[in-house]
């Protein structure tokens, strides 16, 4: 069974750093793209970027380029999303997602449970 399990909720202060994770299981982790998707409270889905664990090829949405870093640790079957300096506007639910099959890129059949990030002073 394919599963994406994300790290737990985070409460941070503005200016702090953060790294959240998404661990894949039940499939060959290196063969499928992993995307990160933001959903701000009461708002829609926003595509942040995508990484191919096999070679760490990464593409960011222009809206998120330079704001976050997406990475992967193949040995742990885990993808990461990190911030060096959080802002209150980073408060949102963050999902990781995987396409139905390879080489699909945006047909996200598998989703993590979401990680709620709250940034508040």
Partner 1 sequence: SSELTQDPAVSVALGQTVRITCQGDSLRTYYVSWFQQKPGQAPVLVIYGKNSRPSGIPDRFSGSSSGNTASLTITGAQAEDEADYYCNCRDSSGDHVVFGGGTKLTVL
Instruction: Please report the beta strands in 1-121, taking only residues with DSSP state E, as ranges in sequence order.
Output: 3-6, 10-12, 18-25, 34-39, 45-52, 57-60, 69-73, 78-83, 92-99, 108-111, 115-119
Residue 27 engages partner 1 in binding (rule: CB under 8 A): no
Q: Would you say 42 or 75 has its CB closer to partner 1? A: 42
**Part in contact with partner 1 (CB under 8 A); list of ranges 12-20, 22-30, 45-53, 74-82:** 45-53
Q: 3-class DSSP state for residue 42?
A: coil
Residue 59 engages partner 1 in binding (rule: CB under 8 A): yes
Considering the complex, what minimum distance in angstroms separates the CB of residue 35 from partner 1? 7
């Amino acid at each position: 069974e394919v599963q994406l399990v994300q790290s737990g909720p985070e409460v941070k202060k503005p200016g702090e750093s953060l790294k959240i994770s998404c661990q894949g299981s039940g499939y060959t982790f290196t063969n499928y793209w992993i995307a990160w998707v933001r959903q701000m409270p009461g708002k829609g889905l926003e595509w942040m970027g995508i990484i191919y664990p096999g070679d760490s090829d990464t593409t960011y949405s222009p809206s998120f380029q330079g704001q976050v870093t997406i990475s992967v640790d193949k040995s742990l079957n885990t993808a990461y999303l990190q911030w060096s300096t959080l802002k209150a506007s980073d408060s949102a639910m963050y999902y990781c997602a995987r396409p139905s099959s390879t080489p699909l890129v945006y047909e996200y059949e598998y989703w993590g449970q979401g990680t709620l990030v709250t940034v508040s002073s």
